[in-house]
Amino acid sequence: MPIRRGRKESKENLENHDSISNAFEERRALMESEGQLPQRIKRSDDIDQERIRRELEEGGDLQKMLGIEQNLSNQQQESLQRLESKWMSGLQGTYNAAEEERKPLMISFDDEDNLQHTDIGSVSILGNDFDGGEEIRLEYPGKGTEFYTLDYEDDSGWRKGKTPEHTARNIASIINKRSSLVHAFSESHKIIFELRDSSLNPDSLVIYVDDPGGKDMIAEKQGIQLDSRGITLQDYQEVIKLALADGIITPSEDQMLWSMREVLGISEDEHVHIVRAMFGDDVLKECTYCNSMASLYPEHKAWFCDSCQNWV
């Protein structure tokens, strides 16, 4: 079979070792010349970074662009330089757009400009065998309650995934879309919450889990588990401190404390005595009828709402 023209030329080129050597020499020279390009880019980046740092320190155009006034005091200048060091030299973003629909950039600093955590609580998925009726509530005095229930047909309902991690991701996605109180995101089997509005008081946000089977979910806030299983009297006192940190007992907090009292065998009168001993007589309770604030009447060991004339 005759060799076609293209094959014949290829055969001759492969036999010409000088041509191959020349081609590789040209390619090597080209790569070496291109290798100088990143060096030039790196030097340019270093110059730009140095210019930005110098402008921040000296109060140049960059400072004006950031809305920072000139003629700052020495203390303000020092604080600005510390923040510049933290932000421009060390802070790296962790938002993964492929996995998270929305992760807020909420940054909080202490008096020494150290970054503080903004997580205020979480819900953990303990098991993935839900028996129905599981519900997560987010509540804020005067703003109402958000209900997120295991419900495939409700727009605010969440769905069980193949694993606890998948379930947590689905719950976080639903809450993030619907909540006016918090941002939510998942890490492994946890749904973690951050306040959506910095003007909200972290002490006032209530995270409540209603788990009829008592084995699938557990809420946590400020390191305290909000669970009646295996609770002790000391645990109960810690939960009361957490619930009344803002001086108000919300309906979900009231239900949570009631379920714990049932386990411990604490009566309503004993509960009121504990509350008064820890916080005095100024503790308010949010009315379940009209959401107004009911006052404590010590002689009756109960709260009365003047707005709708009901005991709560």
Q: How do the domains of the chain map onto residue ranges? A: 107-227, 245-312
Is the model more confident about 238 or about 50? 238
CATH class of residue range 107-227 = mainly beta
Question: Around Cβ 174, how many Cβ atoms within 10 Å?
Answer: 20
Which tens digit of pLDDT belongs to each residue from 101-138? 444 444 555 555 554 557 899 999 998 888 888 999 99
Decide if pLDDT at 244 tops 50: yes
Confidence of residue 3 (pLDDT cuts 50, 70, 90): very low
Strands of the sheet with 248-249, listed across from one edge: 248-249, 284-286, 293-297, 302-305, 310-311
What average pLDDT does the chain have? 78
Q: Is residue 174 scored above 60 in pLDDT?
A: yes
Backbone region of residue 125 per phi and psi (left: phi > 0; alpha: psi in -120 to 50; beta: other values): beta
- Pair 62, 56: CB distance under 8 Å: yes
pLDDT value at 152 more than 60? yes
Does this model's pTM top 0.85? My answer is no
User: Which residues, listed in sequence order, are joined to residue 220 by a DSSP beta bridge?
Assistant: 122, 225
Residue 136: its pLDDT value, please? Answer: 95
Q: 54-58, 227-231, 275-279, 288-292 — which is least confidently predicted?
A: 54-58
**Cα pseudo-dihedral 74, 75, 76, 82, rounded to 10:** 110
Residue 1 has a pLDDT of 46
Q: How far is 139 from 130, CA to CA, in rounded Å?
A: 23
Identify the CA nearest to 131 among candidates 52, 217, 63: 217
Percent of the chain scored above 70 by pLDDT? 64
Distance CA 38, CA 58 (A): 30
> Which tokens belong to 249?
């007992």
Give the pLDDT score at 91: 43
